[in-house]
Every structure is written in structure tokens, then in C-alpha cells.
Amino acid sequence: MSGYVNARVDIEIDGEDIMSGIMDDVTDLIRQTMHEEASEIIAVCYEEIKDIAREAMSEIDIDDEISDAVSSELENYEIVFVKK
């Protein structure tokens, strides 16, 4: 048979402990909210940057860009033809 113990416990509540606990909870909530909002902002920015990059890439004639880059690079080298 189990027994029961009646006990009286006096709890002393310290106001600073309560405020510290409340501030910890508020800080955690703010961190979580800021993280969620920052993630959403980053996602929106990422999509906008992708759209801008796609638009810029569609306007570039890549063949001309490659040709110009190769030509300008070849100007830095002396080309000598050797007969075998």
C-alpha cells in the first residue's frame, strides 16, 4: 500500500529571477522571429537576383563575348608558326 506525504513548501520568488526568465523568453522569441523574417527576405532577394541575372544573360551574345575575350587574350601572346 502506498503512502502519501503532505508537505508544505514555502517558495520565495525573486523578482529579478522572474524578469530574467521573461527576458530570456522574449529574446528567444525575437531571435526566432528575426531568423524567420531574414530567411524570407533572403529568399525573395535570391529570386529577384536570379531574375535579374537571367535577364542580363539573355541580353548578352555569348558567342561575341567569347570571341572578344579570346582575341584580347591572344593579343598578349606572340604566335610563331614553325614548319615541320
Q: What is the pLDDT of residues 52-79, one digit of tens each?
A: 988 887 877 778 888 888 888 888 877 7
In a domain, 7, yes or no: no
In a domain, 33, yes or no: yes
In a domain, 5, yes or no: no
Q: What is the pTM of this model?
A: 0.42
Domains contained in the chain, number: 1
Average pLDDT over residues 32-36: 91
Q: How far apart are CA 38 and CA 30, in angstroms?
A: 12
Domain that holds residue 40: 15-74
The single residue listed with the C-alpha cell 506525504 is 5
Encode burial over 14-34: b for 16+ CB neighbours within 10 A, e otherwise.
Answer: eeeeeeeeeeeeeeeeeeeee
In a domain, 82, yes or no: no
In a domain, 24, yes or no: yes
Q: Residue 66 has which C-alpha cell? A: 567569347
Strand, helix or coil for residue 11: coil
